[in-house]
Amino acid sequence: MAIFSQLHHPDFSLWQSAVEQTVANIEGSADELRGDATHAMIEATNTVASNLKIGVSPAHEAQAGAANGNEGWAKYCSSIWWEIAKAQVEGNRQAEQNWRDQLGQFTTCDVRYAQAAEQYVAFQAKKERIPYKVWHDLSDFIVDWKVPAQARIAIVGDWGTGQADARALLQAIARKNPDLVIHLGDIYYAGTEFEMENYFLNIWKSTFDLTKIRTVTLAGNHDMYSGGVPYYQLIRSLGQPASYFCLRNDDWQFVALDTGLHDDDALAAKPTYLEDTEVTWLNDKIATAGARRTVLLSHHQLFTAIEDIGGQSVNVRLQGQVGPILPKVDAWFWGHEHNQVIYKRWEGVLARCLGHGAYPVGLDEIPAKPKFDVPMENIFLTRGDAFHSHGYAMMELDGPAARVSYYQDSDPENQPMFVESFGAAAAGR
């Protein structure tokens, strides 16, 4: 599998998108870029991303490369050209010239990095204020498609890699004939128009008949890194009214929240939050639920056992916004962490992390021991030769009863690794 590395850094994610789109434009296809084949420019850029995660800056990498002569430069070309591109965006001609001078007269850098820099500058020039929609009436954004009383609902998170594993997982979901597929967000690297089309919509259309199977996709942080416009174009094509919305039938409501809007984290782990107007809208959905049971959906987590949220296990700001309604919520599904975690009831809610849709997670990337003492079921993803398994959940509604089965792609028997009941089914146990 090709190297694939993302990080919570809007500008560098855009650089990754610029490099990859440049290669695709030159070679005429996006299909192979995230397959088994590797491309030196893309591989080098992903290596820089991996190093950024551990605090090694591109400028430091470039200086280290200079000490190793032309071979060192070749390894760090992506770092240098990103510095040049940033200087161009800032209009800092002196900094740009300084970096160009450091390239030297003799360099092994691919000349196409210059085109990638142009693409990056174009991406930055296109960025506008995220076109987030604010409701005018509290009844806004209730989707005008009624969830069937007997429905099969697939839930998958962090799926938008465009890799073979993502395609295979979507096909596995399709074989279960869902009525609705909910994607919990993140189309990598930066949610550009090219990525929305090639790494989400085209694959989705080739797998599902969208006139028969409803699709919604939440706002992840990566979906906003290019400015959000391509994401909003995508959801408009799917018939989704906004980045937060409500799906209902007589017995259930699925309330999706937009936690991606305020996650502009550049490696600082700054907790995200909801717009105050959205909190008002959410409270109304709970107040007007009637006899319906409620499932919350979001990209980001309220709490975590594995990672951290601003150095803590809980997003305190988000907790303050949603805490009062959690006693009326049956379950909350989120993504963001590239893992599956079945939490026991904690902080007033049953939560399930489903961020393991397609992003490749190495065997050493999920710690053996949780960072925080958050109670969870003893259910863990299978470890393959190099990566953890991917997976999804299938929620089957039967009037007021619901059953949720959790599948992983490494099981040849296609048996769920965990099954639970909600609603009337849970009450009758």
Could you tell me if 296 and 331 are in contact, meaning their C-beta atoms sit under 8 angstroms apart? yes
**What average pLDDT does range 265-286 have in this prediction?**
87
- Strands (DSSP E) contained in 130-239 are 150-156, 180-183, 214-217
Q: Which of 90-104, 151-165, 358-372 has the highest mean pLDDT?
A: 151-165
What pLDDT is stored for residue 110 in this prediction?
86
Query: Has residue 429 got a pLDDT over 50?
Result: no
pLDDT at 337 over 80: yes
Q: How does the average pLDDT of the chain come out, rounded?
A: 90
- What average pLDDT does this structure show over 238-254? 97
Mean pLDDT of 327-343: 97
Asked if residue 274 has pLDDT above 60, the reply is yes
pLDDT for residue 413: 85
Average pLDDT over residues 307-331: 95
Topology of domain 150-427 in CATH is Purple Acid Phosphatase; chain A, domain 2 (3.60.21)
What is the DSSP annotation of 345-365? SBTTB-EEEE--SS---BTTS
- Angle between helix axes 93-103 and 58-66 (nearest 10 degrees) is 40
In whole angstroms, what is the distance from residue 39 CA to residue 77 CA? Answer: 14
pLDDT recorded at residue 21? 93
% of the chain at pLDDT higher than 90:
73
The arithmetic mean of pLDDT across residues 112-120, rounded, is: 96
Cα(31)–Cα(39) distance, integer angstroms: 13
Residue ranges of the domains in the chain? 10-126, 150-427
Q: Provide the whole-model pTM.
A: 0.95
Contact 182, 208 (CB under 8 A): no
Check whether the bond before 273 is cis (ω within 30° of 0).
no
The Cβ of residue 343 has, within 10 Å, a number of other Cβ atoms equal to 22
Mean pLDDT of 323-349: 97
> What is the pLDDT confidence band of residue 68, given thresholds at 50, 70 and 90?
low
In this predicted structure, the answer to whether residue 428 has a pLDDT above a threshold of 80 is no
> In this predicted structure, what is the pLDDT of residue 71?
47
Residues in Cβ contact with 140 at an 8 Å cutoff, skipping those fewer than 6 apart:
241, 242, 281
Q: Tell me the mean pLDDT in the region 29-40.
A: 66
Is pLDDT above 70 for 294? yes
User: Residue 73's pLDDT is what?
Assistant: 60
> pLDDT of 364-407, one tens digit each?
889 889 999 999 999 999 999 889 999 999 999 999 999 999 99
